[in-house]
Structure 1
Amino acid sequence: MFFRRAREDRAFREAQRAGYELLLRLQATQPWPDCPEPTPQDPAAEEVAVPDFLPPELRLPSRQEVAGVMMRWQQPLVIDGEIRTCPECGAYRDWIVFCMRNNSIWLRCRAGHETGEPGLDAAWFNRHSGPVDRFHPTLEEGLRHLGH
């Protein structure tokens, strides 16, 4: 009984495949009766395509157009289980974290000492930073905006 059912299923699948192949051949050779053939339009009759880009004054600069992105990190910065401290003054909180164009990470303490941080990368910065709320023409204006 089981083998008879399997043979019937196989025969049904083969009939489906044959019907599908026949349908594809018919569609390739005959146009559909309900659908008229598309008529080519002359280019002058077509509407002029309007670009959907924002005007230049509303566009944000791309990542390649800015020198870097910065965020404030007020709590102690823990990297690989150790609290990061400034090598010059020993500060361990209230950092400004910079992600530069080359995806390197730099830290700046409240006293203005800057040091590279090889233990962090751009992926870490992107996970922990919020949306960009402002663009500043100079580093000093950005630091002033973040309270440094």
Structure 2
Amino acid sequence: MFRRRARDREFREAQLAGHALLQMHANQPAPDFARPATASAPAAPITEEVPDFLPPDLRVPSRDEVEGMMMRWEQPLVLDGEVRECPQCGAYRDWIVFSMRDDTIWLRCRAGHNTAEPRLDAAWYNRNSGPVDAFHPTLEEGLRHCGH
């Protein structure tokens, strides 16, 4: 019974100390960050050029600067309840999915046949693709990176 009272007293003292600390900070005036400029000296214009945030070798091209994006789709691609097959060779898995700049989606099978897929759009691609891990100057290098 005495232990409980001692714990209650310690808890109450800690509460009071915390409340006093909060009150102390609430009563302090806010620091004056916006100091008015002195009227006697006009500000000189900045003539030196401010460097960009990132150096050119660390910048990533924007979506407008690339022809398209690609990802691997190894499992069967099911659209509207049916498995999508290549119209030329009948392959139904291991696709490369291209999202082009004009928001069209193209599929490429392992045999190299390209077909447009109107049932897919850029929103589907963005939901199912991961982060961009590399940029390639040619289509062949991109396909080699994806294992095709």
Q: Does TM, normalized by the shorter one, top 0.5?
A: yes
1:39 is aligned to 38
Judged with a 3 Å threshold, the aligned counterparts in structure 2 of structure 1 residues 105 and 45 are, in CA distance, closer, same or farther, namely closer
User: Residue type of the partner of 1:94?
Assistant: D
TM-score by length of 1: 0.70
Q: What secondary structure does 1:141 align onto? A: helix
Unaligned runs of 5+ in 2: 1-33
Aligned residues: 114
Corresponding position: 1:100 with 2:103: no
Report how far residue 75 of structure 1 moved. 0.0
Judged with a 3 Å threshold, the aligned counterparts in structure 2 of structure 1 residues 140 and 39 are, in CA distance, closer, same or farther, namely same
CA distance in 1, matches of 2:129, 2:81: 20
Q: Deviations over 1:75-98 (max 9, x none)?
A: 000111111000000000000000
TM-score by length of 2: 0.70
Q: Deviations over 1:100-129 (max 9, x none)?
A: 000100000000000000000000000000
Report how far residue 57 of structure 1 moved. 1.3
Unaligned runs of 5+ in 1: 1-34
Judged with a 3 Å threshold, the aligned counterparts in structure 2 of structure 1 residues 46 and 108 are, in CA distance, closer, same or farther, namely closer
Judged with a 3 Å threshold, the aligned counterparts in structure 2 of structure 1 residues 37 and 135 are, in CA distance, closer, same or farther, namely closer
Judged with a 3 Å threshold, the aligned counterparts in structure 2 of structure 1 residues 74 and 43 are, in CA distance, closer, same or farther, namely same
